[in-house]
Amino acid sequence: MNNIQSFSRYEFKFLLNKKKAELIENESQHFMKFDENANKKFKNRYFVRSLYFDNINSSNFYEKIDGMKIRKKYRLRTYSKVNSSSNLIFLEMKGRTNQRTYKKRTLINSTDLHIFFDKKKYLDLLNIYGKENIVINNFLFDAYRKNIFPRVLIDYKRRPYINQNGLNFRLTFDSDIVSSKSNKLFDEKNILSWEECRAGYTILEVKFERSITPWFHRVIQNYNLERLSISKFVMGTKQAKIVQEASE
């Protein structure tokens, strides 16, 4: 269980209304194909759920708001609303160094999920996943140094595209984003309400290793796309009214 998946790339984000999202997606389909995870029965999308960690002072939230060039955060990520032994569950460490983003993640067994909700048991993760697991080690270091714990749950639907050939270039269209204050990954019964985040809008994420393809440069120009520093974690934290709690 010590496998680490690593990603390092540039990420540009754009906020699109429904009409513009449809136009850009239709144009992109001439150059791209659906990612293998796209579910035809789900309109070529898949479901994403993330449980983000932060502390009582919302330090990770304000690091993003303040635009710190070097920062990182942690989340548990899965692709289902229901817990089962067949679920893929990852502990992810996502960070930024200057303009480039990175993500490292390790697979978590569903039977170990309860450990993340009880800080007294955190050190058990070293025995289970090994002291050489860099994601677990970093998480434990920040869990004790910054006193982070699960704070906000965010769900959305994603339609993913990859380049048909050539450059490693990826587009994702994320919509129906909702958030809730929660300290569990699967806790539907105790969630009082889901709050919509930018209802009616889609977040387009452009992910690439070296450069944007020429045809997408034309898309940016033709549709007057403005790159934004937008974050589902920030949006969700605001909508769940966690920031207000932190400042009271």
Structure tokens at 202: 């889609």
Residue-range definition of the domain harbouring residue 120: 4-247
Task: Say how far apart CA 146 and CA 71 lie, in whole Å.
Answer: 13
Inter-axis angle of helices 18-28 and 214-222, nearest 10: 160
Give the pLDDT score at 60.
94
pLDDT in tens, 52-100: 999 999 999 999 998 888 889 999 999 999 888 888 999 999 998 877 8
pTM of this structure: 0.93
Here the CATH number for the domain that contains residue 213 is: 3.20.100.30
Token pair of 205, please? Answer: 């994420």
Collect all residues with Cβ–Cβ distance below 8 Å to 239 and sequence separation of at least 6. 179, 195, 196, 197
Q: Write down the pLDDT at residue 166.
A: 64
Burial of 233 (0-12, 13-18, 19+ CB in 10 A): buried
How many domains, the chain? 1
Instruction: State the pLDDT at residue 223.
Output: 97
In the prediction, which pLDDT does 1 show? 47
3-class secondary structure, 118: coil
